[in-house]
C-alpha cells in the first residue's frame, strides 16, 4: 500500500471543512486534484472514507477511524521535520567525546571535520583511550563503546554496527593452505585483540551452529592496529573489525578465512553512545548522534 502525504492532507482538510472546494483553497490546488487524491486514498486503503452528496461531504464510519490515524501521522511528520531542523541548525557548545583508539583514529577522525564544518558554533573535544572512562566524573558528553550495555546511571543508544572478520596474508595461506572448518584453526598461529586467556577462545557461527575453538599464537597484542600489522606480516590468522581490514581485503593485502563462518567476540557487533540521561538529551549531542548515523549507516 502506497499512501502519500498529499493524500493524507487532502483527507484531513476535506474532513475539517466538509468541503472539497474549501480544502482545495487551503491546499492551493484545484478541486479536481483534491478529489483525485481522496479517491486514490480510498483505493489504497480499500474503504469509502466520505459519503458525498450534491451539498456536502461527510465522513463515513471508516473515514472517522482512519482520520484519527492520518492526523497522528501528519503530526509525527511535522514533529520529525522540526526535530531535524533543530538538529541541523544553530548547534552550539562543546561536545566531549571518548572512543577507542583504533575506531577513533580510523573512523571518527575521518568524519568529525565534516560535522564541525556544518556547525561552526560547535567545539569537539575528543579523547581516544581503550580504558573504560568514568563518564560522569570526567564530564564526558558521549562515550562511544563497543557494547550495547550501559553501566548504571547511563543510557545507551546504538550508533553503528561493526562486523568481525577472520583474515590472513596471502603468503600465509599459500604456505598453510585454505582452512575448511573452524577446527583447522587449532593448527594455526592466530592473532586477536588480546587482554587475557579468555581471548584465546574464538567462537564462530554458521546458521544455527556455533563452534568454539581454543587458538594459540606466538604473538599477543592489546591493540587491534598491532594485530593488523602482524597479520599483514604473515604472523598468523587475525580476528579484526571490518573498519580495520576492509581496505586491506579490497586491495588483496589480506584474504578472508572461513568466510562462511561469522566470528562472535566479547565486544559484540554494535558501537553505542552512552551518556548520562541529561547529557543524552542535549540538542548538540543529539545532533552529533544523527550525524554519525547518517555517515556510518546507523545501527
The closest of 254, 216, 250 to 232, measured between CA atoms, is: 254
Instruction: Give residue 198's pLDDT.
Output: 61
**Spatial distance between the Cα atoms of 104 and 106, rounded to a whole number of angstroms:** 6
Instruction: Give residue 232's pLDDT.
Output: 96
Contact 37, 5 (CB under 8 A): no
Alpha carbon of residue 136 to chain centroid: 25
The closest of 53, 86, 42 to 282, measured between CA atoms, is: 86
Instruction: Give residue 42's pLDDT.
Output: 92
Instruction: Give residue 87's pLDDT.
Output: 61
Q: Which residue has the cell 581471548?
A: 199
Per-position pLDDT tens, the chain of length 299: 689 999 999 999 999 888 999 999 989 999 999 999 999 999 999 999 999 887 788 999 999 999 989 988 888 887 777 667 666 657 888 999 999 999 999 999 999 999 999 999 999 999 999 888 888 778 899 999 987 777 888 899 999 999 999 999 999 999 888 899 999 999 999 998 766 666 788 999 999 999 999 998 888 888 889 999 999 999 999 999 999 999 999 999 999 999 999 999 888 889 999 999 988 988 899 999 999 999 998 66
Q: Identify the CATH number of the domain defined by range 93-161+269-296.
A: 3.40.190.10
Instruction: Read off the pTM.
Output: 0.67
Instruction: Give residue 85's pLDDT.
Output: 67
**CATH 1.10.10.10 domain locations along the chain:** 5-86
Contact 232, 110 (CB under 8 A): no
Q: Could you give phi then psi for residue 66, rounded to 5 degrees?
A: -70, -30
The closest of 264, 262, 280 to 272, measured between CA atoms, is: 280
Contact 75, 104 (CB under 8 A): no
Domain 5-86: which CATH class?
Answer: mainly alpha
Instruction: Give residue 89's pLDDT.
Output: 59
**CATH 3.40.190.10 domain locations along the chain:** 93-161+269-296
Instruction: Give residue 269's pLDDT.
Output: 87
Q: Identify the CATH number of the domain defined by range 164-264.
A: 3.40.190.290
Amino acid at each position: 500500500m502506497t499512501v502519500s502525504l498529499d493524500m493524507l492532507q487532502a483527507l484531513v482538510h476535506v474532513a475539517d471543512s466538509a468541503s472539497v472546494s474549501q480544502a482545495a483553497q487551503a491546499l492551493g490546488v484545484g478541486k479536481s486534484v483534491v478529489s483525485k487524491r481522496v479517491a486514490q486514498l480510498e483505493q489504497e486503503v480499500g474503504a469509502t472514507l466520505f459519503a458525498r452528496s450534491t451539498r456536502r461531504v461527510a465522513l463515513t464510519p471508516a473515514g472517522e477511524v482512519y482520520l484519527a490515524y492520518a492526523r497522528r501521522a501528519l503530526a509525527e511528520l511535522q514533529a520529525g521535520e522540526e526535530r531535524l531542523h533543530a538538529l541541523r541548525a544553530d548547534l552550539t557548545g562543546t561536545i566531549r567525546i571518548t572512543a577507542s583508539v583504533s575506531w577513533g583514529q580510523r573512523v571518527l577522525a575521518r568524519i568529525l571535520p565534516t560535522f564541525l564544518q556544518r556547525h561552526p558554533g560547535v567545539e569537539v573535544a575528543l579523547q581516544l583511550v581503550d580504558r573504560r572512562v568514568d563518564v560522569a566524573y570526567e564530564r564526558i558528553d558521549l562515550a562511544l563503546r563497543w557494547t550495547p550495555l550501559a553501566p548504571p546511571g547511563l543510557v545507551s543508544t546504538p550508533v553503528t554496527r561493526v562486523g568481525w572478520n577472520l583474515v590472513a596474508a596471502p603468503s600465509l595461506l599459500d604456505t598453510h593452505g585454505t582452512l575448511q572448518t573452524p577446527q583447522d584453526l587449532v593448527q594455526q598461529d592466530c592473532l586477536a585483540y588480546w587482554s587475557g586467556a579468555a581471548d584465546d577462545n574464538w567462537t564462530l557461527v554458521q546458521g544455527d551452529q556455533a563452534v568454539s575453538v581454543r587458538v594459540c599464537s606466538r604473538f599477543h597484542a592489546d591493540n587491534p592496529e598491532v594485530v593488523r600489522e602482524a597479520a599483514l606480516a604473515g604472523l598468523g590468522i587475525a580476528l579484526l573489525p571490518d573498519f580495520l581490514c576492509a581496505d586491506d581485503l579490497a586491495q588483496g593485502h589480506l584474504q578472508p578465512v572461513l568466510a562462511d563462518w561469522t566470528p562472535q567476540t566479547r565486544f559484540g557487533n554494535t558501537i553505542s553512545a552512552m551518556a548520562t540521561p541529561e547529557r543524552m538529551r542535549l540538542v548538540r549531542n543529539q545532533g552529533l548522534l544523527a550525524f554519525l548515523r547518517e555517515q556510518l549507516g546507523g545501527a
